[in-house]
Structure 1
Amino acid sequence: MTTIEITLPDALAAEASGAGLLAPEAIERLLRDKLASDRIVRLQDARAALAADPPEVLTRQEINEEISAYRKGQRLAAGS
């Protein structure tokens, strides 16, 4: 576990404490919710970017060539 210290204005600290928001469980929940929300926003941004500029569609042959090249690289890296 990590211990953190934060500095808040007195009025905000009192109000947050009164609402139970300074309890470790509450802070953990707030942080996890914020991190999840940020991940969703990044995912939505990535989806919008892909929709605006979709990648080139590969043919089945191109996909197989990419797979073969990857496998060859893996064999070479393994010394086979």
Structure 2
Amino acid sequence: MYHELFTIDKAYHIKETVRGRYYYPKHPDGHGETSEVSRPLREGEVAEWILLDGTPATCANVALHNLYPDEIDLVVRFLL
């Protein structure tokens, strides 16, 4: 029990530098372009996503507590 609590607690310590990029997918294929800064949507783009380079726990922590002021419905993890 103690080990499980300790492991969960460490998941919220962000020690590394986390880099982010903005991604603009196009409908219907989902391919798009990335940008270092946020920009208005262009024709054919359906959303602005923020891609983070970090551990799954770090990305979830940043997303849930820093990127979006309202309630979040879903956090997706991609393995590249």
TM range (shorter): under 0.3
Larger Cα-atom Rg: 1
Give the TM-score of the pair, scaled to structure 2.
0.27
Give the TM-score of the pair, scaled to structure 1.
0.27
Q: Pick the structure with more strand per residue.
A: 2
Bigger relative contact order (CA 8 A; separation at least 6): 2
